[in-house]
Structure 1
């Protein structure tokens, strides 16, 4: 029983320390905790937030450790019964490991350590990794009101027949980076390409200007996503 309690404490401390490190890279607490548990258990990692882990070099390293630690922990759980019955369960060594992790957890939860980790993990790593290794959030969303949005054009969109250069001239802080038309990605002539129903615009700029210019299209997009969720719901 002592073995089970000590190892459970070790797993709990690994989770809490990993959550602190994930938050230091800029993740929200709820997302950080969910993704840490998902990585450790190998379940539930197919959420949209998982892209925040895969697209970030530091978070990927933490994720690799959690996956490996989770696989090791599964082997420990499977052999737990035999370990309890064995005369030598190495409780002293396990106690030392749990104590060491507890010390690390107390240190990383301190305010000074939190500020240090946030500076190291969410700021200076940009100097050590190339742009293609980083997620869109780290590369483009530098200010609170920055946004990168995909805008699908439905049959009734008033933008059909217009060209993106008119949109960008009307709103200064709005940039159309790409037009996706079926399987074709239009980049080089995107600003002078007349828009068609079914096109998807990838827009970068000020969140407010994007919401104002594409208000109708974004409402239809959200409604479509909500309809898909309701259709997929078993209730």
Structure 2
């Protein structure tokens, strides 16, 4: 009977994990990141990874995380007390199975694409209504559309921008759908006269705008970056 209880408990825990993976996905978090962070929060291990910032910086994910942390702590206490009760009095199988079935039903409902779209819409609406812009993660502030991107472009000797300005290389940039947020030069962030500043090897441009426009405007420099990455991998 103890083995049966442990099996049912394992099913419940697995279902809860997958339920919260779905919920985190509905907030825009990737599946692989969601699953690791959910397990980390439930077990109280590994949550200090850099990826945890994606949860700590998001108000809705923080609320889900609070529940998971508490659930992980209480569920351990429940299993210990339940085993003790079984050893002394015996467990009620019907109640245990009812809980397991209920959790599995919730999981099945959340797996429906229609329900996930509904939750995504609901979460986004709550974010817009209840959260100040400064409290939102950078990803949610900038990337409101799949067509938009925030990209980091390093400058190499082979880059078209090397020892030149953006004015020189892209003379019509004023009418194009992108902006340069800043230039990273060593430990400094340069924001003044960005488009007229001569760029050097080692500089990095932080760009924001339409993906297609960014690729078109900086095509040569993106290709140089891809070649450098291939050389490093080899």
Q: TM-score range by the shorter chain?
A: 0.7 to 0.9
How far apart, in 1, do the equivalents of 2:193 and 2:77 lie? Answer: 56
How does 1:190-229 map onto structure 2 within 5 Å?
A: 190-225=194-229
How far apart, in 1, do the equivalents of 2:56 and 2:224 lie? Answer: 29
TM-score normalised per structure 1: 0.76
1:104 matched residue in structure 2:
106
1:174-221, Cα deviation, whole Å (9 max, x unpaired): 210111111111123323322121111000112122223333433444
Once the two structures are TM-superposed, the CA of residue 133 in structure 1 deviates from its matched residue by 2.4
2:178 aligned with 1:174: yes
2:137 matched residue in structure 1:
135
Q: Could you list the runs of 5+ residues in structure 1 that have no partner in the other structure? A: 231-235
How far apart, in 1, do the equivalents of 2:211 and 2:68 lie? Answer: 35
1:113-143, Cα deviation, whole Å (9 max, x unpaired): 3332121113442221122322233211222
2:155 matched residue in structure 1:
153
Once the two structures are TM-superposed, the CA of residue 58 in structure 1 deviates from its matched residue by 1.4
How far apart, in 1, do the equivalents of 2:125 and 2:170 lie? Answer: 31
How far apart, in 1, do the equivalents of 2:26 and 2:109 lie? Answer: 14
CA RMSD of aligned residues (A): 3.4
1:87 matched residue in structure 2:
88
CA contact (8 A) 1:168 1:174 kept: no
How far apart, in 1, do the equivalents of 2:42 and 2:168 lie? Answer: 49
How far apart, in 2, do the equivalents of 1:95 and 1:16 lie? Answer: 18
Compared with structure 1, are the counterparts of its residues 164 and 63 closer, same or farther at alpha carbon in structure 2 (3 Å cutoff)?
Answer: farther
Once the two structures are TM-superposed, the CA of residue 85 in structure 1 deviates from its matched residue by 7.3
CA contact (8 A) 2:149 2:209 kept: yes
How far apart, in 1, do the equivalents of 2:18 and 2:155 lie? Answer: 44
How does 1:70-81 map onto structure 2 within 5 Å?
A: 70-72=72-74
Q: Secondary structure at the match of 2:68?
A: helix
1:11 matched residue in structure 2:
13
TM-score normalised per structure 2: 0.76
CA contact (8 A) 2:165 2:195 kept: yes
